[in-house]
Amino acid sequence: MAIRIFFFVRFFKEEKHRQDFIKGDLYMNRLKYFKHYEEEDPCNIGDPHEGAYKWLQPDQVVIHITDPRTGKEYPIEGIIKPVVFQYTAHDDYHVYCMSALYFNDDDRFDSHEEMAAASLLDTSIGDLGDYCLIIKAQPFIDRLDKALEALPNDHVFGHGLVQYFDPEVFSGSFEGDAAIFHKRNCFSHQREYRIFVADEQQGNTPRIINIGDLSDIVMSCSKAELNNIVKIQTVDN
């Protein structure tokens, strides 16, 4: 399976934040910030299940009490929701989130409309801000990698596409830091690309990583203009 990312899209709440990004500043909040972020939309910015490394359906969990005198076990019933496990160590990871416009070479579509729906962002869902940047993917990744590799040796870092699972059906686990790259499918409209950086420091403070001037690889627009600028068209021969 080959995935080709063509552009990233980043939304901002303020023009200043957009200008800071163009200067190369990636403002990274800790994962715990998103776990405790409160808003009306349950699948927008905040996610109490961030970093879940194990997600088990009720029928995969058994709770019982053992009588120490007889050794007899008494099952406890009543688990009706998935049981979620999260590493507390991930809470202090700094993360940065963008959207990605990409194709999976293995995908097949019945129509142009189906292809567009699977590849472009649905800006009618959620609210990540009205200020927008379209970013050339590979030059951004090259500059990001250079900045990350220059970090001190005690840092751990990574970046990649987020994968989505159905919380009503999925039952399983994710290895190590892979947990950071898995979210419930109610977030799938964001088509998220995520960057993380971790060191041994704990706390609530964000951090800024500068990857160098990006003005030559970005285009500014509004959220409302985005899908009039980025289009998928077929060419009839």
Assign 224 to helix, strand or coil: helix
The single-letter DSSP state of residue 146 is H
156: confidence class by pLDDT, cuts 50, 70, 90: very high
Asked whether the predicted pLDDT for residue 210 surpasses 90, the reply is yes
Residues paired with residue 156 on neighbouring β-strands, in sequence order: 198
Domain boundaries, the chain: 3-51+88-229
Between 55-59, 110-114, 211-215, 217-221, the lowest mean confidence (pLDDT) is in: 110-114
The pTM score is 0.90
CB 132, CB 226: distance < 8 Å: yes
Structure tokens at 144: 């990001």
Sign of CA dihedral 164, 170, 175, 180: positive
DSSP H/E element including 226: helix 226-229
DSSP H or E stretch at residue 130: none
Return the H-helix or E-strand segment holding 109.
none
pLDDT digits (tens, 9 = 90+) for 38-52: 998 889 999 999 999
Mean pLDDT (the chain) is: 92
Angle at 227 between CA 188 and CA 4, to 5 degrees: 55
